[in-house]
Structure 1
């Protein structure tokens, strides 16, 4: 199966690299600095204390998806519509598009631009770009995929690459669960500059996270979403399983890049306003990250 990864950042390079290492034909579409490094010496895939060089094709423009039977869409949430429009003319009519983005509404937004179905995917992995064309894996790696119409072939492809994946009709519910986790961790990790394990031990942080979860839960319930059972315990327990992980928001802020805060805590704030539900803690975190972005800019 020919695979294209649109948005070869940490998530895209990790899954694309695993698929390519297992023998799939993979093209990574991303920034020039990463693509140039990948073309020169392959993708560096660092995991389990070892670094593997993986031969994989690279492209810097959206026509890199041409001919792909499976497209992993991994761009930042704020770029969804623009990149979708760039990609649309190059998609095969029968290509399956999997949306591996943060947030809960990206698959719908991308589907509206493409005029075709897009499959939501909840991604549970800790990764970062350690340098040009160099992805570092910190933990986990499971995928929860909505029905695709080609479930058996896609699951077999992922299994051959050692990727744990399953299909669920409630992928959107899982994405809401992941949204709650991101709302609790991302901004706080970015603003404190701390990895999860150290961050959660700071006095007051756990209480703030509980407040975030309570607001998110109220908004989800009012939206008709049943969050995974034990969501609070799952949130508070994540720090122990990923103690050294910095959030993607922290990584973006450190590198001076726009964050996805408006699609995380900001999404909860906006939906809360629509539903008449107050979300003061989420609003404060969104505002502080926006302020931090402004400070980095100038």
Structure 2
């Protein structure tokens, strides 16, 4: 059966982008990747290679550095870090047609968080992630499909990725409709061997992932610890637990339902094993950190509700300080 999205592009060829490309390509879906530098060269020469719980998958992809070379797409997965969005999103216009679906696969509070919301926060902007409105202006929100990704992967070499845990993606419309396109994208991902769920409450799932990132990523930069250590070692687990409770209170203030109880949440984190967070990987590689989207934006949302997050704020401060003083 032919794909409902014959023109599919993944923007960003890091750990998540390559995981998606490999799984989709293995299922027979034609995939284009927007990449650059050594990664672009590697993708053109050998395709994308993923080793996960199902084995090793190597597929040929079309790799380009220029949006104009790819032209209009039916489905786009934005697999880039939050700090790159402002410089990237306005330039993606050649990829986007009237019916193009855009799925941001990005950590942290999304710039579109308040889109489709009613009440006092209707169409507000999250200043921490979109301070001047660049992202909101660059893409009509009608194109957006919300996504929460639970994939732990690490780049071993350009275009080559390894993942040691199950893959899960949860998708939902920002206005919470169960639309036909939502089911089409869900089915496409499910057909690629990635567990995929559709929800009519995407912000509930967003908060679950936001809290997972918030309790682990900044703390990993401060300590150098893995998920197993952060959630398993008593001293670090205590700190992670304090951040967890602050974040759960903020999520509840926005009406989000986080279905996992705090102890189970911490136990699940410990069970992920010796995984280095994406932020720790970025810190060690000298790349910008996603502290604004993962941390500052949550503090901003808490502030709107009159809530303080003192432990979270302190850990973010320490992570930011350590990132400024890392070795060149």
The two structures have a TM-score, normalised by structure 1, of 0.92
Q: CA deviation at 1:182?
A: 0.8
Per-residue deviation, residues 202-255 of structure 1 (Å, max 9, x unmatched): 332111111101111222222x23232234234202234311211111111011
Hey, what does 1:17 align to over in structure 2? 22
Match of 2:267 in 1: 237
Q: CA deviation at 1:101?
A: 0.9
Unaligned runs of 5+ in 2: 1-5, 114-129, 174-178
Shift of 1:12: 1.1
Moved more, 175-184 or 200-209: 200-209
SS of the equivalent of 1:85 reads helix
> Does the residue aligned with 1:296 lie in a helix, a strand or coil?
coil
Deviation at 1:180, TM superposition (A): 0.7
**CA, structure 1 residues 107+58, in 2 after alignment: closer, same or farther (shift >3 Å)?**
farther
Aligned to 1:157: 188
Q: Distance in 2 between matches of 1:105 and 1:205?
A: 27
Which of residues 105, 108, 111 in structure 1 aligns to 2:110?
A: 105
Are the structure 2 counterparts of residues 111 and 164 from structure 1 closer, same or farther at C-alpha, using a change threshold of 3 Å? farther
When the two chains are superposed, the root-mean-square deviation of aligned CA atoms in Å is 2.0
In the TM superposition, what whole-angstrom CA distance separates every residue of 1:161-193 from its partner, at most 9, and x where no partner exists? Answer: 112112111112210111011111111222222
Shift of 1:294: 0.8
1:1-298 alignment, distance < 5 Å: 1-48=6-53, 50-63=55-68, 66-108=71-113, 110=135, 112-117=137-142, 118-147=144-173, 149-222=180-253, 224-296=254-326, 298=328
Q: Identify which range, 226-235 or 72-81, moves more after superposition.
A: 226-235
Supply the distance in 2 between the matched residues of 1:26 and 1:187 (Cα, whole angstroms): 33
* Cα pair distance change 1:90/1:3, threshold 3 Å: closer
Aligned residues between the structures = 297
When normalised by structure 2's length, the TM-score is 0.84
Q: Is the 8 A contact 2:171 2:198 kept in 1?
A: yes
What SS is found at the alignment partner of 2:194? coil
Indicate how the Cα distance of structure 1 residues 221 and 2 shifts in structure 2: closer, same or farther if over 3 A, else same. Answer: same
